[in-house]
Amino acid sequence: MPQKSIRQALNEALAQEMRRDPRIIVIGEDVAGGAGSEGQRDAYGGVLGVTKGLFGEFGEARVIDTPITESAIMGAAAGAAVTGLRPVAELMFSDFFGVCFDQIFNQAAKFRYMFGGKATTPLVIRTMIGAGRSAAAQHSQSPYGIFTAVPGLKCVVPSNAYDAKGLLIQAIRDDDPVIFCEHKLMYDLRAEVPDEPYTIPFGEANIVRDGDDVTVVALARMVHYAGEAAEALAKDGVEVELIDPRTTSPLDEDTILESVERTGRLVIVDEATPRCGIATDIAALVADRAFGALKAPIRRVTAPHTPVPFTPTLEKLYIPSPDKIAAAVREVYAYSK
């Protein structure tokens, strides 16, 4: 089976879906790239190249470069979705959601509910999350916790190329608004990805690694760091069960709960900030529904409650590392009252 990067997998998902369904359009800043300038169009295909080639195949009616105006992009996309198109809108950096959040959380997320089921909003918003490139405080955040909190929005956080293609196709075929979070450091990460289109259901976690000692739940890039920690811990006889939820909304609660019922110990790894985030959400779920099984307190390994630093040495301390993850696992493993 061919190896593809996350970038290639996403590009393939978009191209295959756009061939299948003429109602699908792509809209955002530089999604074609170069529109309006002389000569080159499709110069970039997105700031990190995910939409490259789509303009050439599908044309300017379906691959739309916009001015720098997120509120207009999301407003237009939400309106297009309720009136019959299936837009895939790009929010270049998730950090910019503040500029257009009304369109997302008061409009798109609530149309179906407030119009009594008469409106469907098959909108996908693709956006970049994640720190680690010294992109500084306004270009490095991971606000999927905030998106997850909004009823009416679905939120997808893939960690590898196979999942990325299947989940994006699922998102495009879903009739509800979906925010699709792509970690900006992972676009080159390769995996075996089938050439054919395929889907992965939402609310179905991936068990990356089986283990009986400690359950670790991790998102996006943290799945890979937790995997590294798990390999190191296995050498010391501690077997981690590593779960990648893949979607934060809907969340596969059963897989997490079943795992903790068996291991009794939980560590959640999330590079987002700690207050009111996914790690906290999962910790509350487990404390509520699997309290009797717990043998140790639930540990959350997250960023600190500060903006993302620019300077590389501080940014490195900010992001949870495999060592920090392993330390947390050892702590819960060794805990006894």
Partner 1 sequence: MTDWGCGEMSEITAITMPKWGLTMTEGKVLGWLKAEGESYRAGDELLEIETTKITNVFEAREPGTLRRIVAAAGAMLPIGALLAVAAPASVPDAEVATFVAAFVAPEPVAEDAAEDAGVVPHEVEAGDYRLRCLELGSGEGPPLVFIHGFGADLNTWMFNQPALAERHRTLAFDLPGHGGSTKALSGPVDGSSFAADLDRALAALGIERVHLVGHSMGGGIALHFALWQPERVASLTLIASACLGEEINGAFIDGFVKMERRREAQDVLRLLVHDPALVGRQMVEDVLRYKRLDGVPAALSAIAAAWFPNGWQREGLDPVAAEPQVPTQIIWGREDRIIPLAHAEALVGKRPVHIIDGAGHLPHMEKSGEVNRLIGRFIAASP
Residues at the contact surface with partner 1, assessed by CB under 8 A: 166, 194, 196-201, 204, 207, 210, 254-255
CA-to-CA distance for 46 and 24, rounded, in angstroms? 17
Catalytically active residues are 139
Q: How far apart are CA 45 and CA 63, in angstroms?
A: 10
Instruction: For residues 266 and 241, give the distance between their C-alpha atoms in angstroms, rounded to a whole number.
Output: 10
Rg, Å, the chain Cα set:
20
- Whether the CA torsion 53, 54, 58, 62 is positive or negative: it is negative
Provide the β-strand partners of residue 129.
183
Q: What is the DSSP letter of 130?
A: -
**For partner 1, which is the closer residue by CB, 121 or 259?**
259
Q: Assign 226 to helix, strand or coil.
A: helix
Terminal C-alpha separation, the chain: 50
Pair of tokens at residue 222: 């943290």
Residues 143 and 120 sit within 8 Å (Cβ to Cβ): no
Beta bridge mates, 191: 4
Q: Nearest to residue 179, comparing CAs of 75, 74, 271?
A: 74
Cβ distance to partner 1 smaller for residue 261 or 331: 261
Spacing of C-alpha 131 from chain mean position: 13
- Residue whose pair of structure tokens reads 């503040």 in the numeric block: 98
